[in-house]
Amino acid sequence: MKCDDARAAFLAGQVGRAESEHLETCAECRAEMPSLLETRRIMESATFWEEPPADLEDRIVGLVAGPGPKKEPAEKPPRWQLAVVGAAAVVALLLGVFLVQRTPSPDWEVALPGTAEAPLAVGVVSGWNEPGGTRMTLDIEGLPPAPNGFFYEFWLSAGDLHISAGTFTEAQGVELWVGVTRAEFPRLWITLEPIDEDESPSGVNVMDTA
Ligand SMILES: [Zn+2]
């Protein structure tokens, strides 16, 4: 067990037996314990932040990587830089964990299969019921980018009543918002639309819960 692994595990709140033995027996880590505790407290309150404090990353890098290059001869490859690279990866991981924790789990998720128009497409729609409507994210694989002059459009429907939740050309990282609920408009589907003045669904249906 190395110091940086043990400290990163402590900051992440994932201390197993090996980590706790290290933290108890390593004098250097014990000396850092007040700073580690303080930083963990800050990180645990991070679920309330819009954005983490700007100095948090430096602070974690400093804690995990330990002291700087003070004893290294200048001509040797500085080992501490490797430690900082490793620590930066840990920081990215930890901040990722907090961002995930900050996003409450969806109120509903529904599978969105591809139709005969897009037989390789599979996806999941996650939805959050908000006071002003419904927020959705798409997690879709196998849907090719829309050709030039076209976009995809996402619909919620109840019978013949279709509400557009937005358009996109590639199904990567798409977030949608619509002013109705899935309880009222249960069918979720995606069409391929030519860019024209016709605002109704084209009929080229590529993914559909129905
Ligand atoms: Zn240590």
pTM value surpassing 0.85: no
- The Å distance, Cα 68 to ligand 1 centre, comes to 15
Ligand 1 centroid to Cα of residue 2, in Å, is 6
CA–centroid distance, residue 33 to ligand 1 (Å): 10
Who has greater pLDDT, 14 or 117?
117
- The closest alpha carbon to 189, from 91, 117, 86, belongs to 117
Tens of pLDDT, residues 100-149: 555 678 899 999 999 999 999 999 999 999 999 999 999 999 999 999 99
* Alpha carbon of 4 to ligand 1 centroid (Å): 7
CA angle 52, 55, 57 (to 5 degrees): 75
Cβ-in-10-Å burial (0-12, 13-18, 19+) of 133 comes to: middle
Quote the mean pLDDT of the chain.
83
Q: 3-state SS of 62-95?
A: HHHHCCCCCCCCCCCCCHHHHHHHHHHHHHHHHH
Which amino acid type is present at position 25?
Answer: T
CA of residue 58 to ligand 1 center, whole Å: 19
- Looking at residue 9, its pLDDT comes to 84
Which of 104, 108, 105, 106 is CA-nearest to residue 186?
Answer: 108
Q: 201: CA distance to ligand 1 center in Å? A: 62
Give me ligand 1 centre to Cα 125, in Å. 44
Measured in Å, residue 139 CA sits from the centre of ligand 1 at: 41
* C-alpha span between 160 and 198 (Å, rounded): 16
Which residues line ion ligand 1, judged by CB < 5 Å? 3, 26, 28-29
Look at residue 75 and tell me whether its pLDDT is greater than 60: no
- Tell me how far the alpha carbon of residue 5 lies from the centroid of ligand 1, in angstroms: 9
Angstrom distance (rounded) from CA 28 to CA 17: 18
Residue 99 alpha carbon to ligand 1 centre in Å: 28
Query: How many Å apart are CA 91 and CA 52, to the nearest integer?
Result: 12
pLDDT above 80: residue 69: no
- For the chain, what is the radius of gyration of the CA atoms? 25
What count of residues does the chain have? 210
Structure tokens belonging to residue 182: 């899935």
The 10s digit of each residue's pLDDT in 163-196 is: 999 999 999 889 999 999 999 999 999 999 999 9
